[in-house]
Amino acid sequence: MCGILAIFSPQEPVSTPALERGLEVLHHRGPDGRRSWVAPHGRVALGHVRLSIIDLVTGDQPIASEEDDLHIIVNGEFYGYEAIQRELVERGHRLRTKSDSEIALHLYQECGTRALHRLRGEFAFVLWDEANQTLIAARDRFGIKPLYWTRHGGRLYLASEAKAIFAAGVPARWDHESFYQSMHVNFDQDRSLFEGVYQVPPGCFLLATPTQVRVIRYWDFDYPPAEVTRLPEHPEQAIAAERDHVEALRAELDDAVRLRLRADVPVGCYLSGGIDSCALLGLAARHHPDPIRAFTLCFDTAAYNEEEVAREMAARAGAEFCPLPVTQTQLADHFSDAVWHAEVPTANPHGVAKYMLSQMVRDQGYKVVLTGEGSDEILGGYAHFRRDMLLYNAGGQDPAEVDRLLAQLTAENEVSRGLLLPTGSPLSMDTVQHTLGFVPSWMETRSANAVRYRRLFHPQFAAEFPGRDAFRVFLNKFDVEGQLAGRDPVNQSLYLWTRSTLCNYLLNFLGDRMEMAHSVEGRVPFLDHKVVERVARLPVSLKIRGLTEKYVLREAVKPYITDTVYRRQKHPFLAPPAALDLAGRFTQLLQDTLRGPALGALPFFDQRAIIELLDKLPSLDDSKRSGVSYILTTVASACVLQERYGLG
């Protein structure tokens, strides 16, 4: 796992000092080495900072082809690369390294951008094709690895993080439209919160020549029509089909875990009390000769602490249990740095806790961990997907029983209310209803929260978007007929969440950025594309059964997890909200930030309205204080971005 930066300047030579400034800002992504290459004509420059994991000796980048007409820089991992290396050698290629990264270069040499379909893993890369004067920049299928780009001063810039683009000389400014969208539903998967700075979307590649830039999709989820995924009606056939699905998922996930244990350095595992990380640890222990080191966050608030469940699982897997107690004071102390790394606001300090956990991993000498992100997005783990199942997949059920289950779902997911489950009155959702035929619960939740944010907007900011329907703008960017129409409502909800919240936030603030902030590579077996393609074909009744989420996963990994984990329902990974402790350091941080000049400089919120909200905190009960805390934390994190990036 590394950091990459590229500059393509068709009209004049690239500035080498600009390249070096950008690479310096990416040092945390690759502290083991830094190299760059500038084309003889000076119009293309590729820079790379390296975190050495595979091929510790010869794997430096950029890597050149045999004829020196192709050059590549890669951030990420390609799995199953040894077999492809053997194929390439048999076909006459001369490999300059033993690293996994080099296979992308030679596969492109053979079949151009079709090579992307041979690559398995989490990656972002930039390749310069000298003969065709073409730059290709590709991102993995789910956006696990970040890749930003912009055009400025006649030059094209690409980098692992936006901060490297700014360090290279591009001005940093807020994108007001993206921020408005993010306060309602989410900003687009091809944009960022910074003006003119875009993302190569998941499953896409950018193709640039001296005269044009195009972005092309090479992969998508492709959920089948609803009728294709149903279990057979005959009971015996249904039981047999279910058994086959369970065994197939177990085999596919086990292979994804096995591949991700391949490294020339030790591999650990992030462990919570949830089935996702426990499943990975249980499967990994089967393939690992020594005890795996399992790293767990522990909070001092019972509703958010999973230490005992994780400890029991570590013992079951024969793992070395490594707990990290985290306090509100520590979260406050690391808040600004974590937000700076993430480049997006956050409503909860859970990402800050991951930032601290990655620091512990690095301090214990580890560079690689398995992590469970993605399971909820493909298997319907969150409470809002269970609500969708009850609301829109309840054909033939007793309405009274559905109402009872909905009430039970709400009662058993107190910490999810207002964040994952809707509370309060949303904005009009007619656009969503007319477009999809139903309203996904997660969008209803975001809409209800948007009502609260709108009350806090600065009048000048609100006036920039009179009458704007943020949900229509959001849905306009999707191929509704091609990817959503005719699909099961739960799968539609999963698709939209995955193409927005997963890539823009969860794989960022709970994934790559918090890990790479401390030079740690997170590997994500649940987002192996072979696993995802298998799960996409499953009946939704195997994903969610009643109030049991990820049913098929529970059955697939039952032999490798504790009974506690098998029977435990999903609890979202959250840190205790800051304002639960009114006298705590984190609450004081919010008070100081939001009453001071930092908020006054932010163009989006009315400081007087925010201060009124701060003044109300002592009079609120814990439930309402948690909801307000999410809002205040979001605004405070935007203040951090404003200050740390000097945004205009």
323: exposed, middle or buried (Cβ count in 10 Å: 0-12, 13-18, 19+) = middle
- Does one domain contain both 39 and 171? yes
Region of poorest pLDDT, from 158-162, 166-170, 410-414, 619-623 = 410-414
- Does one domain contain both 483 and 597? no
Residue 604 within any structural domain of the chain: yes
Can you tell me the mean pLDDT for 386-399?
Answer: 83
User: How, if at all, do strands 267-270 and 293-299 pair?
Assistant: parallel
The answer on pLDDT for 395 being more than 70 is no
**Cβ atoms of residues 439 and 496 within 8 Å:** no
Angle formed at CA 642 by CA 144 and CA 183, multiple of 5 degrees: 60
Residue at which a domain ends, from 469, 498, 527: 498
- Does one domain contain both 86 and 197? yes
Give the pLDDT confidence of 544-594 residue by residue, as tens digits: 998 899 999 999 999 999 999 999 988 889 999 988 889 999 999 999 999
Residue 52 within any structural domain of the chain: yes
Residue 112 within any structural domain of the chain: yes
Note the pLDDT of residue 401: 86
**Cβ atoms of residues 484 and 632 within 8 Å:** no
Give the pLDDT confidence of 404-425 residue by residue, as tens digits: 988 898 888 877 777 788 888 8
Residue 62 within any structural domain of the chain: yes
Phi and psi, residue 337, nearest 5°: -65, -40
Note the pLDDT of residue 394: 63
Torsion angle of C-alpha atoms 205, 209, 210, 214, degrees rounded to 10 = -50
List the structure tokens of 100.
């996994």
Residue at which a domain ends, from 165, 186, 217: 217
Note the pLDDT of residue 385: 95
Give the pLDDT confidence of 37-73 residue by residue, as tens digits: 999 999 999 999 998 887 777 788 999 999 999 999 9
Residues 6+ away with beta carbon under 8 Å from 42: 9, 12, 13, 14
pLDDT band at 11 (very low <50, low <70, confident <90, very high): very high
List the structure tokens of 474.
């959001």
pLDDT band at 231 (very low <50, low <70, confident <90, very high): confident
Residue at which a domain ends, from 498, 513, 531: 498
Residue 95 within any structural domain of the chain: yes
C-alpha separations of 2 from 45, 102, 146, 157, 524 in Å? 17, 14, 11, 17, 16
Note the pLDDT of residue 572: 86
Identify which of 170, 162, 181 has the alpha carbon closest to the alpha carbon of residue 461: 181
Can you tell me the mean pLDDT for 495-518?
Answer: 96
Report the alpha-carbon distance of residue 502 to residue 504 in Å, rounded. 6
- Does one domain contain both 186 and 76? yes
Give the pLDDT confidence of 281-335 residue by residue, as tens digits: 999 999 988 999 999 999 988 889 999 999 999 999 999 999 999 999 999 999 9
Q: What is the three-class DSSP state of 400? A: helix
Residue 8 within any structural domain of the chain: yes
- Does one domain contain both 136 and 34? yes
Number of domains comprising the chain: 3
Identify which of 216, 319, 228 has the alpha carbon closest to the alpha carbon of residue 267: 319
C-alpha separations of 356 from 260, 330, 351 in Å? 23, 9, 9
User: How many CB atoms within 10 Å of residue 177?
Assistant: 18
Note the pLDDT of residue 550: 96
The answer on pLDDT for 278 being more than 70 is yes
Identify which of 300, 302, 292, 301 has the alpha carbon closest to the alpha carbon of residue 271: 292
Can you tell me the mean pLDDT for 176-184?
Answer: 98
Residue 637 within any structural domain of the chain: yes
Torsion angle of C-alpha atoms 550, 553, 557, 559, degrees rounded to 10 = 70
List the structure tokens of 539.
């009946």
pLDDT band at 489 (very low <50, low <70, confident <90, very high): very high
Note the pLDDT of residue 172: 97
Asked, as a colleague might, if the bond just before 31 is cis with ω within 30 of 0, I would say: no
Angle formed at CA 443 by CA 625 and CA 636, multiple of 5 degrees: 40
pLDDT band at 396 (very low <50, low <70, confident <90, very high): low
CATH code of the domain in which 100 resides: 3.60.20.10
161: exposed, middle or buried (Cβ count in 10 Å: 0-12, 13-18, 19+) = buried
Rounded to two decimals, the pTM is 0.96
Give me the domain span that covers residue 451. Answer: 380-498
pLDDT band at 1 (very low <50, low <70, confident <90, very high): low
Residues 6+ away with beta carbon under 8 Å from 419: 347, 348, 445, 572, 574, 630
Residue 307 within any structural domain of the chain: no
Share of the chain above pLDDT 70, in %: 99
List the structure tokens of 116.
């992307």
pLDDT band at 86 (very low <50, low <70, confident <90, very high): very high
The answer on pLDDT for 256 being more than 70 is yes
- Does one domain contain both 384 and 477? yes
Give the pLDDT confidence of 509-530 residue by residue, as tens digits: 999 999 999 999 999 999 999 9
- Does one domain contain both 491 and 617? no
**Cβ atoms of residues 531 and 256 within 8 Å:** yes
Amino acid residing at 530: K
